A and B are shown apart, each in its own frame.
Chain A
Amino acid sequence: MSAQPLLRVTGLRKFFPVRGGLLGRKVADVQAVDGISFEVARGETLGIVGESGCGKSTTARLLIRLVEPDAGEIVFDGLGLGDGLTLSELRRQAQMVFQDSYASLNPRLTVGDSIAFGPRVHGMKAAAARALAQDLLRRVGLDPALFAGRYPHELSGGQRQRVNIARALALSPRLLILDEAVSALDKSVEAQVLNLLGDLKAELGLTYVFISHDLDVVRFMSDRVMVMYLGKVVEIGDVEAIYADPRHPYTAALLSAMPSTDPDRRTEEAPLAGDPPNPIDPPPGCRFHTRCPFAEEPCRRAEPGLNPAGDRRQVACHVNDPSSGHSRAGRQGEAA
């Protein structure tokens, strides 16, 4: 990755205060996203996976500043936010599609007006914005003559999500963040929308950040994948490489929990037991050690760093770090 990435995120962190007690003072933090860093190359799709509550959606919202981060740096196309790049410019270049297709459309506006809203805000004339909305509807496979004047409740879930994609494209962004964008759809409709997303990406030269809890869908869509656990990145790398040979025990557990029809891909490893720990009070050391089959003393003490592990791959696990003192350190790589 020598070329300049489209998006570089460094040390992004967001804690949500938990208020309580008599005076409503801050008593704790939900450590939603705790110091994550990653890059997204031009034209690629980065998948983000993890259990619910791992910080995927917060990450998405942090990227376009719908949530104010506590710390961290966002560099888009070489320009740092607040350092050559304004917030409104970032938001024009990076758009988002939300999970709930109904809640993300204003029920009082026609879908045509919803799509035209962004361009209107950026000063486009009403007639031009309307024409643009019609063009975009056509692009996402909806006949503008039939759909532009409809209200969201008159559309099916798949149609609404197409409208949401059109709305996100209205400002000609270069990066599209898809936060569980197909998760609420029926399987058949989901496939159609995924194909549409693939076509649009090729046509418009888009870059995607694709967030989902569905590992199959992520594999279908992504070039690289980032695995999150309790607000941390545990593994990141090429999707095929990771799916074939997960290096982090959490990734392995996630993948083994995935139903597979291929007998060769069935693993003997124990699936994940129990729920993730409370993000208000995450375990010390490696956050995964409470559920990890290989947890040892170093895991309880020290937090593993995100270290390179092979080609374009990074893993945050003591097993991967020969200097960690973990008994299996250094053997994992050989085994693979």
Chain B
Amino acid sequence: MLLYILKRVFYVVPVALGVSLLCFLLVHIAPGDPLVSVLPADASQALVEEMRKAYGFDRPLPVQFAIWLGRALGGDLGTSIASGRPVAGEVMKAVANTFILAMAATLLGFLLGGVLGFVAGYFRDSWIDRVATTLSIVGVSVPHYWLGMVLVILFAVTLNWLPASGAGPGGSSLWAWDWEHVRYLVLPAVTMSVIPMGIVTRTLRALVGDILGQEFVDALRAKGMRDGAIFLHVVKNAAPTALAVMGLQLGYLLGGSILIETVFSWPGTGFLLNAAIFQRDLPLLQGTILVLGIFFVALNLLVDVAQAALDPRIRRG
């Protein structure tokens, strides 16, 4: 098991390096000089050259990458062009907010999807299976940013039950776990939970159906095992795959949150990215993407290891 973990970690290093290279290159595939947004329009040639040196843009690309990577490892993601503050701090604040939202959505989506998928798989072709299947197909097909708008129209505009946007009263960015704040979380979290709900339902339904169709279940029945005990066996066998799907989903939620945060003006990474894109704040864009990308890589690693812990077959593979 330890060897397996070490192997996975070892394998992740080049991928993480590749991810950072990709983030680094983002700035360089961007059209135009990255300095344009920093410099006044009438900057003299000499000033441009000086700034170029100051930012290190005069060095060869691999050297720039090495320097950039070294700084990033030390927690220095550069300075935001728009706000003039360090990118790392901005990103961390936003990550915390996104995390709150993603966790709430994950819990909601997995719970609902887990129950729906399991029941649908267990009672194939029953009415509850049809309901679950319909819900799941809606969940994976609906443009979630649009669903967010529809929910706002319904619950904020028409019924006036919940706030339409923001993360707290008076636009405060300090989060607290009281109803005053949680009210703001409800709509975006529900909106966001629809995707994992759909995917978890679909996966679990197929998985449980497959497991029930396998011979070992018949063998357990033949041995006179009660339904409840068989149910436990099925859960145990479905867990590794379900876990893998859920891990991936959490990652996709972090990515997908960009659109939802924009709809609800939730001050997370998505909102930050949106701002970075519109102000052409490339260091901020780069830093945010890097943090999210590395987080996703780490998450995958975690899922792999957890999966191996649950399923000994994977360890040997």
Contact = CB atoms under 8 A, between A and B. Distances in A.
Do chains A and B make direct contact within the complex (CB under 8 angstroms)? yes
A197 B6 CA distance: 54
6 contacts: A21-B3, A22-B3, A22-B6, A22-B7, A22-B10, A23-B10
Interface size grouping (class) on chain A: under 10
Interface string B8-46: 001000000000000000000000000000000000000
A23 B13 CA distance: 12
Secondary structure type dominating chain B contacts: helix
A22 B5 CA distance: 10
Interface residues of B, number: 4
A160 B10 CA distance: 47
A175 B6 CA distance: 50
Closest 4 CB pairs of A and B: A22-B10, A22-B6, A22-B7, A22-B3
A21 B3 CA distance: 8
Interface in A17-47: 21-23
Interface of B: 3, 6-7, 10
Contacts of B3: 21-22
Interface of A: 21-23
A271 to B, nearest CB: 31
B13 to A, nearest CB: 11
Contacts of B7: 22
Contacts of A23: 10
Contacts of B10: 22-23
A75 B298 CA distance: 55
A110 to B, nearest CB: 32
A22 B3 CA distance: 7
B8 to A, nearest CB: 10
A22 to B, nearest CB: 6
Contacts of A21: 3
A23 B7 CA distance: 8
A5 B56 CA distance: 74
Nearest to A24: B7
Contacts of B6: 22
A23 B3 CA distance: 11
A15 to B, nearest CB: 22
A21 B10 CA distance: 11
B172 to A, nearest CB: 49
A101 B3 CA distance: 40
B316 to A, nearest CB: 10
A22 B7 CA distance: 5
Nearest to A20: B3
B14 to A, nearest CB: 12
Contacts of A22: 3, 6-7, 10
A71 to B, nearest CB: 31
B294 to A, nearest CB: 22
A154 B10 CA distance: 48
A68 to B, nearest CB: 25
A164 to B, nearest CB: 31
A25 to B, nearest CB: 12
A227 to B, nearest CB: 33
B301 to A, nearest CB: 15
A196 B3 CA distance: 54
A23 B10 CA distance: 8
A323 B7 CA distance: 51
A175 to B, nearest CB: 38
Nearest to B7: A22
B314 to A, nearest CB: 15
